[in-house]
């Protein structure tokens, strides 16, 4: 890994930590979030999602074609699940129960879509 990349990301993580501290978080929580930001920047190049391109300047992380294709397929899968879930809610609550749809049920559909995105993304990355 490029030392210059890690040094610049450490500076950005420190800025985030300081900003979290000024936002009112306790010092230990701000430091922990700063370390989490640095950990993201350290793991991102090896995750398969991003490629470090030094010519990118302050934003050297880029997605390649494979990563974009996987992200698009995972997004499509989550969207299809959301559409089917909402359609099911319309059928159940509109035709069968004749009652308003509880907000928690819609939140559950969106939560399932987020989980479906994450699982689909991981599976597609491992298959390809």
pLDDT band at 106 (very low <50, low <70, confident <90, very high): very high
pLDDT tens for each residue of 51-87? 777 776 767 777 778 888 998 999 999 999 999 999 9
Question: Which comes out higher in pLDDT, residue 25 or 53?
Answer: 25
pLDDT over threshold 70, residue 128: no
Q: For the residues of the chain, what is the DSSP string, one character each?
A: --HHHHHHHHHHHHHHHHHHHHTT--HHHHHHHHHHHHHHHHHGGGTTS-EE-GGGTT--EE--HHHHHHHHHHHHHHHHHHHHHHHHHIIIIIIIS-SPPPHHHHHHHHHHHHHHHHHHHHHHHHH-
């Amino acid at each position: 890994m490029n030392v210059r990349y890690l040094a610049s990301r450490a500076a950005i993580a420190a800025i985030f930590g300081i900003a979290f501290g000024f936002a009112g978080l306790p010092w230990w929580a701000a430091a922990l979030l700063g370390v989490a930001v640095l950990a993201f920047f350290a793991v991102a190049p090896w995750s398969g999602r991003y490629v470090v391109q030094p010519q990118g300047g302050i934003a050297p992380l880029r997605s390649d074609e494979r990563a974009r294709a996987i992200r698009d397929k995972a997004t499509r899968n989550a969207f299809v699940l959301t559409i089917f879930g909402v359609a099911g809610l319309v059928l159940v609550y509109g035709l069968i129960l004749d009652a308003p749809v509880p907000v928690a049920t819609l939140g559950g559909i969106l939560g399932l879509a987020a989980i479906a995105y994450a699982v689909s993304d991981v599976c597609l990355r491992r298959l390809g």
